[in-house]
Amino acid sequence: MSTNREFDCVVIGAGIQGSFTAYQLAKKKKKVLLLEQFILPHTRGSSHGQTRIIRKAYEQDYYTHMMEECYELWAQLEREAGVKLYRQTGLLVMGPEKSQSYLLYKNTMERNKVPTVTLTHDNFSQHIPHVNLADGDEAVVDIAAGVLYADRALKTVQMQFQKLGGVIRDTEKVTDIKPGPVVTVSTPAGVYSAKSVVITAGPWANKLLAHTGIQVPLEVVKLNVCYWKEKVPGTYGVQQRFPCFLLTEGEESKYHIYGLPSNEYPGLVKVCYHIGGKTDPDQRDLQTDRSDIDILKRFIQRCLPGLIPEPAVVESCMYTMTPDSDFVLDHHPSYSNIVIGAGFSGHGFKFGPIVGKLLSELSTGEVPSYDLSPFRIRRFPSKTKSAL
Ligand SMILES: Cc1cc2nc3c(=O)[nH]c(=O)nc-3n(C[C@H](O)[C@H](O)[C@H](O)COP(=O)(O)OP(=O)(O)OC[C@H]3O[C@@H](n4cnc5c(N)ncnc54)[C@H](O)[C@@H]3O)c2cc1C
């Protein structure tokens, strides 16, 4: 007889990846416990906030391939729950016409027959007013891209998980993991046992992995999530069909700058720099670097003249970066019944449904639906806890 402390699977971390994994496992009729250290909902990890970009525009084919099915899975969740989670806006990818990064985006979309429209310097302003395209830049629009309502999505998947009989326990921080044929997981409220454990702890991944003898090369950074006020409300509005955008590289920066139309906060447009200052997730607010904001101000002055170049709202979020910005989706190298989903490198939200599916497959011993070689832990030099 199983007790309420024995599960088929314990998932640690109720961000978007852990929540989708728990949901997928519950769909397979597994008895699942989802543990979260904070009271839900919370704003201390990586999955909070109103919006995220969803797109097929990628530099690598494998992400574009996964997004095919992922759009379907998002739509399936919308239908199941009767909730709207996605709004199509298109994504404008801009960059130096001949640069490697811009061409990788453009070519990946072409190769994979993603519906696009290419805009040249000559016809750009006719289609996208109030945006200055730099000399020598070109733009391509990923037409099906858009906005995901992030907080709503997280709440929805957690609710659907519970409807399937899944158990969520928040304010239960996992303090120990003991590997074995049956894994035991300790929290201040007690000890749970499970046939398998999935670690989806976001920026805290290495803190948890330390209990299992390994570390993955992850760097946690704090992002300043900036919102900029429109000089004339509606200039860059979702109602006015202004798209999401991504600048692959520009005069101001060699890293991506991205933005979303004004939507969640009326009259405010979210524009962020895809890089942040290194932090410890438990001390996020002590990281006060604002150099990204200076870069964004210069970008806004040059490229988005309809915005006041001073952020009106600055929120905080964290990325968990791998050295190559590819995810970690794998079994633990020593314990096959411990599965790891980590290092989503600031672009994992849109993949939540697929990540959940893949991690659930790894945890039940099924053959994964996609080639996971880009996401293996072994691509990094091995580092055990004792070598730290
Ligand atoms: C500013 C910003 C913008 C972004 N924009 C996009 C975008 O446009 N498109 C996109 O696809 N992605 C985007 N991302 C990335 C995406 O949001 C993340 O990749 C994704 O949310 C990561 O989810 P996660 O579940 O891995 O981590 P998290 O959401 O951090 O979840 C991990 C959870 O584990 C819990 N936890 C940790 N340790 C323990 C423990 N010991 N015991 C119990 N619980 C624990 C944490 O409290 C947390 O709730 C963005 C991220 C940020 C920060």
CA atoms within a 13 Å half-sphere pointing along the CA-CB vector of 288? 1
Residue 16 and residue 114 in one domain:
no
pLDDT for the residue 252: 76
**Of the residues 349, 355, 359, which should be mutated to test ligand 1's pocket, given the most ligand atoms within 8 Å of the CB?**
349
Q: Which residues are catalytic?
A: 48, 51-52, 270, 274, 317, 350
Is 116 in the same domain as 259? Answer: yes
Taking the centre of ligand 1 as the mean of its atom positions, its distance from the CA of residue 142, in whole angstroms, is: 25
Instruction: List all residues whose CB is within 6 A of at least one atom of ligand 1.
Output: 12-18, 35-38, 45-47, 52-53, 173-174, 200-204, 208, 223, 225, 272, 317-319, 344, 346-350
Q: Of all residues in the chain, what percent carry a pLDDT higher than 90?
A: 91
Taking CA atoms, 17 is separated from 98, 215, 327, in Å, by: 36, 19, 11
- 47 CA distance to ligand 1 centroid (A)? 4
Mutate to test the pocket of ligand 1, among 154, 204, 314 (most ligand atoms within 8 A of CB): 204
Q: How far apart are CA 46 and CA 343, in angstroms?
A: 11
Q: Determine which residue's CA is closest to atom 2 belonging to ligand 1.
A: 317
Question: What is the predicted pLDDT for the residue at 387?
Answer: 38
Position 1 in a domain? no
241 and 314 in a single domain? The answer is yes
For residues 137 and 223, membership in a common domain is answered with yes
Q: Decide if 61 is inside a domain.
A: no
Q: Please indicate, yes or no, whether residues 108 and 26 belong to a single structural domain of this protein.
A: no
pLDDT at 386: 43
User: 159 and 136, same structural domain?
Assistant: no
Residues 223 and 304 in one domain: yes
State the closest ligand 1 atom to the C-alpha of 244, by its place in the atom list counted from 1.
Answer: 8
The backbone torsions φ and ψ at residue 385, rounded to the nearest 5 degrees and listed phi first, read: -60, -40
What's the CA-to-centroid distance between 96 and ligand 1, angstroms? 31
> Residue 313 belongs to what domain range?
91-143+219-321
C-alpha 289 – ligand 1 centre gap (Å): 20
Cβ-contact 46, 180 below 8 angstroms: no
- Is residue 116 within 8 A of residue 141, CB to CB? The reply is yes
CA dihedral 22, 27, 32, 38 (to 10 degrees): 30
Q: How many CB atoms neighbour CB 380 within 10 A?
A: 16
Q: Is residue 63 part of a domain?
A: no
Instruction: Using 70 as the pLDDT threshold, list the residues of the chain that sit under it.
Output: 1-3, 383-388
Q: Are residues 139 and 232 in the same domain?
A: yes
> What pLDDT is attached to residue 25?
98
CA of residue 219 to ligand 1 center, whole Å: 13
Count CB atoms within 10 A of the CB of residue 75.
13
Residue type, 307: L
Pocket probe for ligand 1: among 33, 44, 46, the residue whose CB has the most ligand atoms within 8 Å is 46
Q: How many structural domains are present in the chain?
A: 2
Alpha carbon nearest to ligand 1 atom 26, residue = 202
Q: Are residues 112 and 232 in the same domain?
A: yes
Contacts of 163 (CB under 8 A, 6+ apart): none
Nearest to 19 by CA among 343, 314, 359: 359
Question: 137 and 285 share a domain?
Answer: yes
* pLDDT number for residue 384: 52
Q: Is residue 372 part of a domain?
A: yes
Measured in Å, residue 348 CA sits from the centre of ligand 1 at: 8
Residue 356 within a domain: yes
Instruction: Give the integer Cα–Cα distance in Å for 32 and 301.
Output: 50
Asked if residue 251 lies in contact with residue 245, where contact means CB atoms within 8 angstroms, the answer is no
